[in-house]
Amino acid sequence: MMKGFRKQANWVVMTAVICVLAACQPQDDAAKRSAATPAVAPKPPEAKPPEPVKPPPLPPLFRDIERRTFQFFWDTSNELNGMTPDRYPSRPFASIASVGFALTAYPIGVENGWASRTQAVDRTLVTLRFLKDLPQGPQAEGKAGYKGFYYHFLDMQSGQRYASWVELSSVDTTLLMMGVLFAQSYYDRDEPREKEIRELADTLYKRVDWSFMQKNKPLVAMGWFPESGTIPHDWKGYNEAMMLYILALGSPTHPVKPEAWEVWTRTYGESWGVYQGQEYLTFGPHFGHQYSHVWIDFRGIQDAYMRERGIDYFENSRRATYAQRQYAMENPMKWRDYGENVWGLTASDGPQQTLQEYRGEQRQFRHYSARGVGFRENFDDGTIAPTAAIASLPFAPELVIPATEEMHKRYGEYLYSSYGFLDAFNRSFDYEIPLKSGRIVPGEGWVASDYIGIDQGPILTMIANYRNGFVWEVMKKNPYIREGLLKAGFEGGYLTPKEAPIQIPANADPEAAAARALGTAESRAAQAGEQQDNPPRNQVPK
């Protein structure tokens, strides 16, 4: 708008000068010119708003990643009962969270022609029937769950609690139920077997007694042990439990009260602030910015907390992704290879729980652990997990695409295999000590030996969401998810009835609103352009 104003001012000045010069010329010359020159200066061209930034296309590598990652779930799940291993090839036990991702992966395979709908229906029915019939109860042994919740890890064959250290997990049950409800909404044909899928999904979700996990109402506890009772830690602060509260609010049988969301967001506490040049709600390990977004499209919808901040949770995760990458570029701990296209801290495998000397000082390293940076939950031992970057594709494709290609190009020979990227790598760890898992590649550092289901799942699903919003669009049809969002106070976007008129406050300034929207678009365009102008330069331990 300012550019257009300045152009108009220039035209006024030029017109005045022409008129003055014309007065000084002989009349006959002036008459000749008046016949050929319009009396009014032509209207200057209007300034056009910048074109929307188009999402960059995905290179062929991403199709290969998708196919290999889908095959992880298809090949490693037990065909007889649908149990999906927590990790592979070590495959010690099933993870109910991995099962939730597997149930989401099968339709992605159908849509891409990697499995037939009949095959996917078969596998899904086997899984849901098995889950429904598994024994539940308060006993410490011989059970798969209690009050509709499931134990975090189950035996791959029997489906029962794997060991006495395994908890009845509220958040892992949530990940399972997200997959269950996704299946319910995807298999929508008027056909007996697909009807059975929808009925089984309804049964599984409705029997989860969310109030059972509320020792400190209205918050929800992290879990329960038959030996000792409820875990004395509730889901609070900003993290992946957004999806847990949304499912708990949407339950038609055992819901938590709407005040649970208000109290949950009240516990965000000091998580909001500026970190690495981004103002956002922080959480260190990047999975906290990804898991809920696998199934729920947060673009354009806001709860009361985000309305006050003027953004949505999707934009929050975008900023978190930029902060992660900026941290790697600054690399304050001087880890090997960290940079603009080598980044990604989340919960992942690692080399070993040990203290070793690095650059003249003692550094702590871990095996499986949450890694991340922010205002809290800070831990970084040089271990990069590709899922942290790749599963952020919808948030910041301009960062994720070059990072994915770079990691594949530089480390693919030993990091990329049958089912895509192995879980993690650490270029700085080359100590000759016994390892918890993985191996040392001479001259290259430590590399994981396993794929982990809860890291594979976000890679596959978020690439699908980036391509066409597939998982998001299916889940928008699910009435329980919608109900949970509405009870949490989310408004706007696809939650607004199409017939409802847009409400504009009486004191709203349309020009100011347009200017803010234009400023946001220009900011993102500039950020994307910055990437093109500067090409690459070369919480709970398991």
CATH of the domain at 436: 1.50.10.140
- CB of 44 within 8 A of CB of 8? yes
C-alpha 177: how far from chain center: 17
The pLDDT of residue 520: 38
- Give the position of tokens 């003055």: 20
The pLDDT of residue 11: 41
pLDDT higher than threshold 90 for residue 539 = no
The pLDDT of residue 221: 98
The pLDDT of residue 269: 84
The pLDDT of residue 86: 98
Q: Is 64 a domain residue?
A: yes
Which residue type does 52 have?
P
pLDDT higher than threshold 70 for residue 180 = yes
Q: Which residues 6+ apart lie within 8 Å of 330 measured at CB?
A: 276
Local confidence band at 534 (pLDDT 50, 70, 90 cut-offs): very low
Strand partners, 491: 302
Q: Is 40 a domain residue?
A: no
Q: Is 535 a domain residue?
A: no
The pLDDT of residue 270: 84
Local confidence band at 368 (pLDDT 50, 70, 90 cut-offs): very high
Which residue type does 330 have?
E
| 41-45, 351-355, 432-436: segment of lowest average pLDDT | 41-45
Q: Cα separation of 164 and 67, whole Å?
A: 36
The vertex-459 CA angle with 457 and 460, nearest 5°, equals 70
Q: Is 32 a domain residue?
A: no
For residues 453-470, give the mean pLDDT.
Answer: 98
Q: Domain limits at 100?
A: 60-495
Q: Is 37 a domain residue?
A: no
What's the domain count of the chain? 1
Q: Cα separation of 155 and 158, whole Å?
A: 6
The pLDDT of residue 56: 93
Q: Is 33 a domain residue?
A: no
In 3-state terms, what secondary structure has residue 272?
Answer: strand
In 3-state terms, what secondary structure has residue 439?
Answer: strand
Mean pLDDT for the chain? Answer: 87
In 3-state terms, what secondary structure has residue 372?
Answer: strand
Q: Is 125 a domain residue?
A: yes
pLDDT digits (tens, 9 = 90+) for 36-89: 344 444 544 554 555 667 889 999 999 999 999 999 999 999 999 999 999 999
Who wins on pLDDT, 516 or 499?
Answer: 499
The vertex-414 CA angle with 412 and 416, nearest 5°, equals 45
Q: What is the DSSP letter of 370?
A: E
Q: Following DSSP, what letter does each residue of 99-141 receive, concatenated?
A: HHHHHHHHHHHHHTTSS-HHHHHHHHHHHHHHHHHS-BSS-SS
Q: Cα separation of 172 and 132, whole Å?
A: 16
| 105-109, 147-151, 224-228, 519-523: segment of lowest average pLDDT | 519-523
